[in-house]
Structure 1
């Protein structure tokens, strides 16, 4: 068995946000199968604090600070006629390290996590190339651009157009291109049909997300005291979790605050919304403590907050792939009220495992109905966890990984 080069746009430690949870489990699973050399970037000091843990699993590694400012990356993107996503992650040190590893080690497989890192694969590499795009990023930026205006809207439309061409180039080059859900894989394949004749030679597959159902178990988790104390009769305590400097999450919370929560509080005056996740912008922080809104920011462990909540609300309007926040809430036996976009790729049953609604009014009504019928809410939470145990473990999600890298047997991988 040859060795593997794993390239990720963020260090896959700690697994505390959607993309890092997926890359973390992929990296650990691959490291059980063969020596893995890991090249990745750090966003902050907390990432560097995880380097020792990462080094213990990697055959070798490089962890670089991604210090390039957005304006500089933007100017480079305009000058080179490239997507900003590529120039933001271009670093000569990473390219040099990749070339050194390929020259000195018997690398059979390069596993690229996120399309930004495909730029480091040399054109003359003749081994196996697997690229996990996770989501169709070009479609996401096209959606941003359609909603935006002025220079930012123009840049987002440009990014969508150039990324679409880059995604086609990657798929043509790769032995396998992975997406996070069947729906995302079908969308990507359809866009390839339009962008690149001969797409039938490209292999596009879905590899879903999972969660650690032992870790996300309400029976093993004490509720967060700050949230566990009810604010008064009438509740409920509604939670939204996620990376809060991510535009779709910000838009979802703003929607919840301005359009959904007022409808809920008109019928349940003590209802409260709790936003839990790192780096909330000032526009959200300024709402903390007003009108039932609480913005908690970064927390060490999301599970106690889920354990203390009555339900989760996920009203995403722009969503790509499978939402880990939904899987985690379901694993913690929370009833989840969510938009159709947030439910994409999760093949659970509406009305049994979660409640899907599209309009602000319908989302608010669903929250109120569950709050007023605790027995039904409890049954939905229990059914949600049962679905997670049966369908959304990392072991099941990554069962095909040995085959992808050329092993003859499909050993089940304990990637918890």
Structure 2
């Protein structure tokens, strides 16, 4: 096997944690084909227990401790250098020394980067084949934050949007392929960085359908509760915004019709704004749970009321894989190949959400069951990880910059 360097911004484990699913399956896929040398950050104390599981997949590995609070303070120095806050957030001298030593020691000729700020560690090795999985157009996410937040947060987010886009464009112009999580994300980046369009493509997330499957799970809800469940990292601002909007604009009208309805917010590290929602009637905030599947399996409906979203929402695919009816916004549906009305439910504003939820919950159970079964069939047919990751193999061995591949050749089938 040849050697390959993999750079990941957050340790890619546990494998069913929303923001680590893609990176974990990427690591496993690459480890079947290469001797993988992994460099990653650990920003959650609970994740140190998982180091042996990740080391077992790798030829060598480096885990750098990252304090989110300290990193945020350090990133403010980027303003003095007119560069991206995200760049300095993940800037670490020890990480750079390990990468440079590993590259020299093993003569590594292939680098895969997961998340744009990690590309800084690959820049010193232009002779290597460098593939960057941006996942999302993060700069556009910061732009959306700036539009929704009051000053001075809007000014900070606007600064980061412009500086990160500049760095994203630089990375795409100097690497061999720039990959994203969906066709809309890739198309957006092509508009923002047209000079790199020939090197820009995408591969979608998959789903572990053996793990996320209908089955017998203990019911975590109180007797009589009809749960509307939302799953996600609850310190992530788009998720915070989503549950706040649902709690204020949708849930009261639903509970006025059916007081047994309960909005259950499942996810680690709930922000103070999320924790405060638990004081409202009909809302439960769980915090970290050992397994999200029982909460999805026994919910009346899975909801994804995201108003700001980039890329593909794993929470939607996972609920679909569990044959659960899912109600989503257009933003949460972006990049997912599913038919509204047959495989999931779609609503945009508050009134549409209220009407769609009430109709679904008041209808015959067989209707929601059929929706869930159709959703499961869609995921099984279209979202296996092996199929989704296959285009990456081609890019690693035949980089677009050297091979002249057109953007369309990088894109996975719908």
Tell me if both proteins adopt one fold, taking TM over 0.5 as the criterion.
yes
Distance in 1, matches of 2:173 and 2:349, equals 39
What TM-score comes out, normalization by structure 1 length? 0.92
In the alignment, is residue 242 of structure 1 matched against residue 243 of structure 2? no
Q: Which residue is equivalent to 2:189?
A: 188
Q: How does 1:319-338 map to 2 (within 5 A)?
A: 319-338=309-328
In the alignment, is residue 79 of structure 1 matched against residue 80 of structure 2? yes
C-alpha displacement of 1:273 = 0.6
C-alpha displacement of 1:45 = 2.2
Q: Which residue is equivalent to 2:40?
A: 40
Cα 1:269–1:5 change in 2 (3 A) is: same
Cα 1:175–1:290 change in 2 (3 A) is: same
Cα 1:267–1:166 change in 2 (3 A) is: same
Distance in 2, matches of 1:83 and 1:203, equals 23
Distance in 2, matches of 1:11 and 1:74, equals 20
In the alignment, is residue 406 of structure 1 matched against residue 397 of structure 2? yes
In the alignment, is residue 306 of structure 1 matched against residue 296 of structure 2? yes
Q: How does 1:266-285 map to 2 (within 5 A)?
A: 266-285=256-275
Distance in 2, matches of 1:168 and 1:100, equals 27
C-alpha displacement of 1:86 = 0.8
Q: Which residue is equivalent to 2:131?
A: 130
Q: Deviations over 1:321-354 (max 9, x none)?
A: 0000000110111111110000000011010011
Q: Which residue is equivalent to 1:260?
A: 250
Cα 1:229–1:218 change in 2 (3 A) is: farther
Cα 1:158–1:200 change in 2 (3 A) is: closer
Distance in 2, matches of 1:361 and 1:263, equals 9
Cα 1:226–1:178 change in 2 (3 A) is: same
Q: Which residue is equivalent to 1:209?
A: 205
**Kept in 1: contact 2:3–2:106 (CA 8 A):** yes
Q: In structure 1, which of residues 361, 365, 368 is the aligned counterpart of residue 358 of structure 2?
A: 368
Q: Which residue is equivalent to 2:174?
A: 173
In the alignment, is residue 387 of structure 1 matched against residue 378 of structure 2? yes
C-alpha displacement of 1:16 = 3.6
**Kept in 2: contact 1:268–1:368 (CA 8 A):** no
Partner secondary structure for residue 312 of structure 1? strand
Task: Point out where structure 1 has 5 or more consecutive residues left out of the alignment.
Answer: 194-198, 408-416
In the alignment, is residue 226 of structure 1 matched against residue 224 of structure 2? no
**Kept in 1: contact 2:220–2:294 (CA 8 A):** no
In the alignment, is residue 288 of structure 1 matched against residue 278 of structure 2? yes
C-alpha displacement of 1:403 = 1.8
Partner secondary structure for residue 226 of structure 1? coil
C-alpha displacement of 1:243 = 0.1
**Kept in 2: contact 1:178–1:204 (CA 8 A):** yes
Partner secondary structure for residue 96 of structure 2? helix
Partner secondary structure for residue 254 of structure 2? helix
Cα 1:55–1:264 change in 2 (3 A) is: same
Q: In structure 2, which of residues 362, 369, 373 is the aligned counterpart of residue 378 of structure 1?
A: 369
Partner secondary structure for residue 272 of structure 1? strand
Cα 1:202–1:94 change in 2 (3 A) is: farther
C-alpha displacement of 1:305 = 1.1
Deviant stretches of 4+, over 4 Å: none
Partner secondary structure for residue 398 of structure 1? helix
Distance in 1, matches of 2:213 and 2:232, equals 19
In the alignment, is residue 118 of structure 1 matched against residue 112 of structure 2? no
Distance in 2, matches of 1:200 and 1:300, equals 42
Q: Deviations over 1:183-211 (max 9, x none)?
A: 11111111112xxxxx1564111110011
C-alpha displacement of 1:47 = 1.3
Distance in 1, matches of 2:33 and 2:227, equals 43
What TM-score comes out, normalization by structure 2 length? 0.93
Distance in 1, matches of 2:357 and 2:299, equals 13
Partner secondary structure for residue 150 of structure 1? coil
C-alpha displacement of 1:151 = 1.9
**RMSD of aligned Cα (Å):** 1.6
In the alignment, is residue 27 of structure 1 matched against residue 27 of structure 2? yes
Distance in 1, matches of 2:56 and 2:284, equals 39
C-alpha displacement of 1:224 = 3.9
Q: Deviations over 1:153-183 (max 9, x none)?
A: 1010000001111110010011111100011
C-alpha displacement of 1:122 = 3.2
Q: Which residue is equivalent to 2:110?
A: 109
Q: How many residues align?
A: 397
Q: Which residue is equivalent to 1:66?
A: 66
